[in-house]
Structure 1
């Protein structure tokens, strides 16, 4: 008995020890969860600190409130990934997260494209679409390692939003509509291209209503998307209340109101006779329509609804920005797209887009109407602006995958086996005379299977004649994408690569070296004036204060820099002194043959400056009497006296000795007469500007 009691006591002690271990493990787990929870709360506090972040290194002397002048999505995404990796003890530098963020989201984009195409056709088409978007140059230009730009995550958000919109429309689920709204909110936080979503989805809903395809599924999906998406998008400080008073968002509001009217009319129809319903519907249509139109007109006249922005007008009139908003037209990505660019970025997918759209017309389900609207609108906008090639590429990949998949389904499916029934008659006539009749015996039925043949007139299977060229086209598409990626999109933006006459590669590292010089040989608190294209690079790599940068939120400040560049030293010097300018940086490519230098951009500086200071800056004064833009001896006095011209060609003829000084970019012979600077001095290791 004592022995048994001892055993029980030992078992109790073991159970106590086990319980104590479990309690300790639970406490450790709670502590770990609390630390994670505290870290998440701390990360949320970091997000709140982002909004009032004031950057004193840019836009001197104004500075810039970063949270209110930029889309925070890509920065919050990188920070969140960095935070999560550190929570799970993966020590990684934030710069490495930024470098690999775009390739990571390109994988997500391929998956989202697969899901969308699967909803439109089938899994096989989805796999092809994922393959196309993974290597298409039109998208890979913004998804290579090191490309830390908004579009790196925006295209994934674009495709996943459209996928859940189609899913919500097909199921009528408010859950999918809410998920669509969530990804739309994420898109709003990341890129200004969210306007494309908030106009395309309402256009799709409006088209379905006009086609007589209204359904409760459409009502539930669009209503949940619009309400949640609009309220959430207003939480982004840079967007604010724009969804409620800007013209770009009014179409979505109008379709939302129209859906309410249509749904109400269907409700009324169930309680009235057909004749009564027609009368009530006519009153509702005219009355509410007139009231709504009048209210919108009143709000527009009183200024409560802001007019369309210049970027919006420039999409419909390619010459609008050049005349009214030259700062938009000066960006190379905002120029109309040349036809070779389509082939360069899309290659063989171009002719397959109409084929995929044709298949959608042939089937014309609700989701196929969306593809048609997306393809048509994106094709137009991509033709107007080079940058919008990025929004065209996904739908081209989807439509091309549908076309290729249809071909493969037709010619790679197993050949059907047909059953052939043959009746064999065993009766043999005893005589062929008219008077005699054959004796019929029992008939036997023989069923045999014959494989249908697709062979042509030369005895070659038709499917091979079709499939082999298709495989060759896909193989050539892969070669083209690989070549474009390696030659055009794999070089850093500040390190230029060119080819020597013998075919060897030549690296031009002047940008990085110039920024390194500024960092090592200038005062930490100095201010640098340059054109806005180099603002981010100077701030990030040289860690110096700049007057303007790539954010372009203040057109007047940029115009002031353009005015100083276009003016003479005597006019520019007092303005530079008022802005505490210590150094002036210009990029000149006449020696190396770099065509993207400031002299080629100079006309845009003049136009932007003239837009704000028309009395001080006159574009016509920089052209000869024959209307030519010259930098040689025929250049106008205004051109030769401008700060930009003097700084670019200062001591340029000395490089050529007794030979002619030739600008290799413009092919112009520069006069030998030396240029004298009265208020500026050339920068070197011992001297300072100004």
Structure 2
């Protein structure tokens, strides 16, 4: 947001009138172009200019980065990958995922020290990076003192202290004898490491340094989030990455980047040690979490470019050498003088010039042509795949769905916008909508209505309360909705069109999050069959078949027959006939169902008789001001009698 605002301010300062919306829409594509340039610069430093050019071409079209850099993708990641690549080129600070960077660069320095590759260049570069980065990052109000008070930053501080100690010992090395230096070295290193370790433990124990976050633990222990922080594990981007995702986002680069890593390790130097560490760590983290494919994509493009560049140099370089033949050495001159001899210096039969030319014209040129054509075919397939993925997966807004018929024609499913427009036009402007947190921002932005929970997932207890309402039966859910002043409930149901991202498929995460806060009321095992299956048909759990989410999703669905091959109430997403077709509501009523049944909205019925008055009186006369429930109830009774007298009725003192 700061970057977009700054660009908008500068453009208007230069009298280039641009709407802030246009700046936000085109921010990611502009920075993706800068990412290609920074990738070229970084790969050129690691290998050569040809590899840099290929790497820039790869990252310009690779689906793993296109997914976050298309027009309209206004998110941190649009700028983040440029910051990450430019960080690795200049060693400065970057985005919200900068914890990866702030630990990878110290790891690089630490490994260089272990490999005895210490130099003044490493000392100056890292000391400047750490001091300047620390001071600049602390100027941002949101960051503040986090760089010196969180565990994620302690590795960078520890390596900085270690580097200073190492540099000091190198200074003393020239002024002490070998025996004195060895004694001082081991004593100094052990003492410094012990002091730093004990200091970090003490500061963490006293609370000055915050412990490792749950997101960090979930990277090392894949089952941690599911047990302790289910709201993190429930996000689709935080699921483990499948092989299909690797191939979909990287295509042929999955196979070629290990070759580039091998070339770097074979011809290792200080810079290539860094890219090897980057590749190994990024591969591990991308396998743990789908979202971190974004950090793997740049290094895959760089190493694949190195692999392709090396192959082209090897198989096309001989043609370049023929055009510029090397200077002949003395042994060749001796061979020319003794051309009449049948044997060379090694005692082997000498080949005539015509035989050498025939050997080169035989298998050699054919192999070069075949390898070159194969490489070009791979690049062509990669370009075709990237174009197809970009046009089909990443060029449509997520709020509008598209499906294809057998004849290739396309159907546009506009149910989301249809439902949000209905909410905006047909509900009170102060109405409160309860839905799962995935749709909170959309409802607030497109329907302009208040939501209980949204995509800002910091309030875990509030989200768990909504999950409890969805997981409970109608009566228990109604009490929760009354306490939250809910007017409408919105759900997503994909059983008609086969949409797999609906709320029934997300339902177990609602149960798990609710169980974390309310273990006495909600238990995940209650929603499974005795065989441990999650089923929506007649064999499903009775608790599941009577819960609010199930009833709202399948209300009136049992009467619908989608086609002649399936019975009424057949769920296309779960491929099953639902088990509860006779669904009736006591406290809710259907208010709206979109054309393809994708979005369903229910209205919460108001209380009968005097209960609405009591409900309002609770907000007028809150209980904490009085000593007991009895006193608060008596006070509300006095106010109720006054309101009744104003209407000209006699008060009911008994009640």
Superposition map of 1:366-445 within 5 A: 366-413=270-317, 414-416=320-322, 417=325, 419=328, 421=333
Secondary structure in 2 matching 1:501: coil
Question: Does 2:200 correspond to 1:296?
Answer: yes
Task: Write the distance in 1 (CA, Å) between the matches of 2:440 and 2:505.
Answer: 18
Structure 2: runs of 5+ lacking an equivalent: 341-352, 594-600, 606-655
| Correspondence for 2:574 among 651, 666, 681 | 666
Kept after mapping to 2: 8 A contact 1:663/1:670: yes
| Correspondence for 2:446 among 527, 537, 541 | 541
Q: How far off is 1:383 after superposition? A: 0.8
Task: Write the distance in 1 (CA, Å) between the matches of 2:192 and 2:62.
Answer: 48
| Correspondence for 1:514 among 402, 419, 422 | 419
Partner of 1:631: 536
Q: Name the stretch that deviates more: 671-680 or 464-473.
A: 671-680
Q: How far off is 1:395 after superposition? A: 0.2
Where relative contact order (Cα < 8 A, 6+ residues apart) is larger, the structure is 1
Q: How far off is 1:550 after superposition? A: 1.1
When the two chains are superposed, the root-mean-square deviation of aligned CA atoms in Å is: 2.4
Question: Does 2:26 correspond to 1:100?
Answer: yes
Superposition map of 1:22-171 within 5 A: 75-165=1-91
Question: Does 2:426 correspond to 1:524?
Answer: no
Secondary structure in 2 matching 1:585: strand
Q: Per-residue displacement from partner, 1:417-447 (whole Å, max 9, x unpaired)?
A: 255647679x9xxxxxxxxxxxxxxxxxxxx
Superposition map of 1:324-339 within 5 A: 324-339=228-243
Q: Per-residue displacement from partner, 1:222-251 (whole Å, max 9, x unpaired)?
A: 111112212322333433322222221111
Give the structure-2-normalised TM-score: 0.84
| Correspondence for 2:156 among 238, 245, 252 | 252
Kept after mapping to 2: 8 A contact 1:337/1:382: yes
Q: How far off is 1:601 after superposition? A: 0.3
Partner of 1:206: 110
Kept after mapping to 1: 8 A contact 2:488/2:602: no
Task: Write the distance in 2 (CA, Å) between the matches of 1:102 and 1:450.
Answer: 59
Kept after mapping to 2: 8 A contact 1:455/1:462: no
Q: How far off is 1:633 after superposition? A: 2.1
Kept after mapping to 2: 8 A contact 1:415/1:451: no
Distance change in 2, residues 1:577/1:125 (3 Å)? same
Partner of 1:465: 370
Q: How far off is 1:453 after superposition? A: 7.9
Task: Write the distance in 2 (CA, Å) between the matches of 1:450 and 1:376.
Answer: 48
| Correspondence for 1:219 among 96, 103, 123 | 123
Task: Write the distance in 2 (CA, Å) between the matches of 1:371 and 1:596.
Answer: 37
Q: Name the stretch that deviates more: 262-271 or 217-226.
A: 262-271
Give the structure-1-normalised TM-score: 0.79
Distance change in 2, residues 1:268/1:584 (3 Å)? same
Question: Does 2:455 correspond to 1:550?
Answer: yes
Q: How far off is 1:668 after superposition? A: 1.7
Task: Write the distance in 2 (CA, Å) between the matches of 1:308 and 1:371.
Answer: 26
Number of residue-to-residue matches in the alignment: 574
Q: How far off is 1:572 after superposition? A: 1.7
Structure 1: runs of 5+ lacking an equivalent: 1-74, 166-179, 428-447
Q: How far off is 1:689 after superposition? A: 4.0
Task: Write the distance in 1 (CA, Å) between the matches of 2:568 and 2:361.
Answer: 70
Q: How far off is 1:671 after superposition? A: 4.4
Task: Write the distance in 2 (CA, Å) between the matches of 1:211 and 1:599.
Answer: 54
Distance change in 2, residues 1:217/1:684 (3 Å)? same
